[in-house]
Amino acid sequence: MDHYFVIGNPIAHSKSPQIHARFAALTAQEMHYDRQLVPLDGLAAALQAFISSGVRGCNVTVPFKFEAFAAAAQASARAQLARAANTLVFKDGLVLADNTDGLGLVRDIQVNAGQSLAGRDVLLLGAGGAAAGVLAPLLQAGPRRLVVMNRTVSKAQDLVQRHRNHPSMTASLAQTELTALDLQGDAGSFDVVINATASSLNGADIPIGAGALQPAALVYDMMYGPAAKTFLDWAAAQGARTRDGLGMLVEQAAESFLLWRGVRPPSAQVLGEMRDAK
């Protein structure tokens, strides 16, 4: 029986064991997936213990995504650009790092929400770890314009520059205008707005005006549940379509599952089950 884990601190709240158990059942994969609390200074020891006991892979959540990337012997281009890993594969005693957060976001937007990104104008709010984790797959989806807007503009500029300089992004950059702006900057209006700022923004902090939304824009918050409510309520009041990050959570898990097992699970079905269960 192959074993997988999700590690973090805290970890009790994680829905990943439930999601992967459904994926395994629906695809008849013989595997176990558990959560494990790792002490804040205990990542290296935890990874070594996984390798020694033949664990096949793990998901990584807060606060270990950056350290897990740094600990890996090899990393995908996506993980290099994010400088963070949410998915590890243990192979031949080595740690291989990937990041499926952005793939999950893009799939939730394009497949589950039916909003294409190709040729569209997309605004990404934030330039911290959450934004860094999704920028490369967003670029690869081929928007016409992708603006990264952040309170601290230098962080948005650094993130954009890192993507401009990476060889894996050359083809995407030929079709997308990628820019960094501060929150006061006027960048026109967008088909899709994605909130990747850390905190649930309260009313006073909503960083964009209604003018940033095209008619029937899709406004997406990478958080889900109550944490996404204020921003999405504001967007709905402006007439936007809204979507929280539960689908991204399920789809990033599906991309990890695909990496590990070579089988794409029926993620839309599992997302539907989770929404129904609420």
Q: Is 91 noted as a catalytic residue in this protein?
A: no
CB of 125 to ligand ATR, least distance (A): 7
- Quote the CA–CA distance of 180 and 6 in Å, as a whole number: 33
Q: How far apart are CA 57 and CA 86, in angstroms?
A: 11
- Residue 274 CB, shortest distance to ligand ATR, in Å, is 22
In the complex, least distance from residue 222 CB atom to ligand ATR, rounded to whole angstroms: 8
Q: Between residues 47 and 132, which has the closer beta carbon with respect to ligand ATR?
A: 132
The whole-angstrom separation of Cα 193 and Cα 122 is 6
- DSSP E strands in 173-229: the ranges are 177-182, 190-195, 213-221
Instruction: Locate all alpha helices (DSSP H) within 7-42, ordered by sequence.
Output: 16-27
DSSP H helices, 8-100, are 16-27, 43-52, 65-71, 77-82
The separation between CA 2 and the C-alpha centre of its own chain, rounded to angstroms, equals 25
Closer by beta carbon to ligand ATR, 37 or else 62: 62
Judged by beta carbon, residue 171 or residue 198, the one nearer ligand ATR is 198
Q: Closer to ligand ATR at the Cβ: 75 or 124?
A: 124
Round to the nearest angstrom and report the end-to-end CA distance of the chain: 31
CB of 104 to ligand ATR, least distance (A): 15
> Which residues sit at the interface with ligand ATR, rule CB under 6 A?
126-131, 150-152, 155, 197-199, 201, 205, 207
Q: Which of the following is catalytic: 15, 65, 91, 229?
A: 65
Residue type, 57: G
The least CB distance from residue 46 to ligand ATR, in Å, is 21
**Which residue has its beta carbon closest to ligand ATR?**
128
CB neighbours of 85 closer than 8 A, spacing ≥ 6?
Answer: 60, 65, 68, 69, 72, 75, 79, 97, 98, 99
Closer residue to ligand ATR, CB minimum distance, 165 or 199: 199
The nearer residue to ligand ATR, 15 or 56, going by C-beta atoms, is: 15
Q: At what angle do helices 246-261 and 267-277 cross, to 10 degrees?
A: 140
Judged by DSSP in three states, 98 sits in strand
Shortest CB 91 distance to ligand ATR, Å = 27
Three-class DSSP category at 222: coil
| Whole-angstrom distance, CA of residue 62 vs CA of residue 129 | 10
Residues taking part in catalysis: 65
